[in-house]
Structure 1
Amino acid sequence: MSNRRPTVFMMDLWAIVPYYTAYLSRALLQDGIDLTVGSITYYLDPDCYSRRGIKVDPGLINIVGRFNLPRLPRRVLKLAEALLNLLALSIRFLFLLPDVIHVQYLPMLQWRLPLDLWFLTFCRKRGAKIILTVHDLLPHDTAETHKNTFHNLYHMVDGIICHSDHIKTRLNTEFLVPLENIFVIPHGPFFYDLPEKSEEGILRDFEIGLGKTLVLWQGIIFPYKGIDLLLEAWKRVEVANEAVCLVIAGTGSPELLEQIRGQISYLGLKTVKIHFRFISTQELVALYRAADIVVYPYRAITTSGALATGLALGKTIVASDLPVFRELLRDGENALLVDPLDSDGLASALIKLVSNPQLRTELAENVRAMNFGDESWRAIAKQTATAYEQLLSD
Structure 2
Amino acid sequence: MRVHQVDPSAFTPPYDHALCGALAARGLDVVLETSRFPYAEAPWDGGRAAAAGYELRERFYRHGGGLPGPLRLGAKVAQHVPGMRGVARRARRERADVLHVQWCAIQHVDPFLLPRDRPVVLTAHDILPREPRWGQLAAQKRVYHRVDHVIAHSRHGRDRLVLEADVPAEKITVIPHGAFGHLAGLAAADPEGAALPPELSGVGRDVPVVLFFGLFREYKGLDVLLDAWSLLRRAGQTDAELWIAGMPRMDTRALHATADAAGGVRWVERFITDPGAAALLDRADLVVLPYREIEQSGVLFSAMGMGKPMVLSAVGGFPEVAAEGAATLVPPGDPTALATTLTRLLADPADRARLAAGARAAREGRYAWSAVAAEHEALYRRLAR
TM-score range, shorter chain: 0.7 to 0.9
- Residues 263-294 of structure 1: per-residue CA shift (max 9 Å, x gap): 434xx132111111111111101111110000
Residue of structure 2 equivalent to 1:228: 223
Residue of structure 1 equivalent to 2:308: 315
2:287 maps to 1:297? no
TM-score of the superposed pair, with normalisation by structure 2: 0.88
* Deviation at residue 200 of structure 1 after TM alignment: 4.8
Change (3 A) 1:259 1:149: farther
Residue of structure 2 equivalent to 1:168: 158
Residue of structure 1 equivalent to 2:239: 243
Two-structure CA RMSD over aligned residues (Å):
2.7
* Deviation at residue 226 of structure 1 after TM alignment: 0.7
2:333 maps to 1:341? yes
In 1, the alpha carbon distance for the partners of 2:80 and 2:192 equals 41
Residue of structure 2 equivalent to 1:275: 268
In 1, the alpha carbon distance for the partners of 2:156 and 2:67 equals 38
Residue of structure 2 equivalent to 1:382: 374
Residue 262 of structure 2: SS of its match in structure 1? coil
In 2, the alpha carbon distance for the partners of 1:144 and 1:170 equals 21
Instruction: Please show how residues 51-130 of structure 1 align to structure 2 within 5 Å.
Output: 51-52=48-49, 53=51, 54-59=54-59, 63=62, 74-92=72-90, 95-109=93-107, 114-120=108-114, 123-124=115-116, 127-130=117-120
Which of 283-292 and 191-200 deviates more? 191-200
Residue of structure 2 equivalent to 1:136: 126
* Deviation at residue 204 of structure 1 after TM alignment: 7.0
Q: Is the 8 A contact 2:213 2:244 kept in 1?
A: yes
Q: Is the 8 A contact 1:22 1:48 kept in 2?
A: no
* 1:155 equivalent among 123, 137, 145: 145
* Deviation at residue 361 of structure 1 after TM alignment: 1.9
- Residues 329-368 of structure 1: per-residue CA shift (max 9 Å, x gap): 149x543211102110001111111222222222222322
2:18 maps to 1:26? no
Percent of aligned positions that are identical: 30
Q: Is the 8 A contact 1:42 1:48 kept in 2?
A: no
Instruction: Please show how residues 338-377 of structure 1 align to structure 2 within 5 Å.
Output: 338-372=330-364, 376-377=368-369
> Alignment length, in residue pairs?
374
Which of 355-364 and 23-32 deviates more? 355-364
In 1, the alpha carbon distance for the partners of 2:366 and 2:164 equals 34
Partner amino acid, structure 2, of 1:245: E
* Deviation at residue 43 of structure 1 after TM alignment: 2.0
Partner amino acid, structure 1, of 2:237: N
In structure 2, list runs of 5 or more residues that go unmatched. Answer: none
Q: Is the 8 A contact 2:244 2:267 kept in 1?
A: yes
* Deviation at residue 93 of structure 1 after TM alignment: 5.1
* Deviation at residue 87 of structure 1 after TM alignment: 4.1
Residue 328 of structure 1: SS of its match in structure 2? helix
Change (3 A) 1:204 1:155: closer
In 1, the alpha carbon distance for the partners of 2:32 and 2:282 equals 31
In 2, the alpha carbon distance for the partners of 1:279 and 1:147 equals 31
Change (3 A) 1:311 1:236: same
Residue of structure 1 equivalent to 2:186: 195
Change (3 A) 1:334 1:63: closer
Change (3 A) 1:350 1:199: farther
Partner amino acid, structure 1, of 2:175: I
Change (3 A) 1:212 1:71: farther
In 2, the alpha carbon distance for the partners of 1:100 and 1:204 equals 42
In 1, the alpha carbon distance for the partners of 2:134 and 2:74 equals 26
* Deviation at residue 128 of structure 1 after TM alignment: 1.4
Which of 94-103 and 166-175 deviates more? 94-103
Change (3 A) 1:62 1:48: farther
* Deviation at residue 323 of structure 1 after TM alignment: 4.8
Partner amino acid, structure 2, of 1:359: D
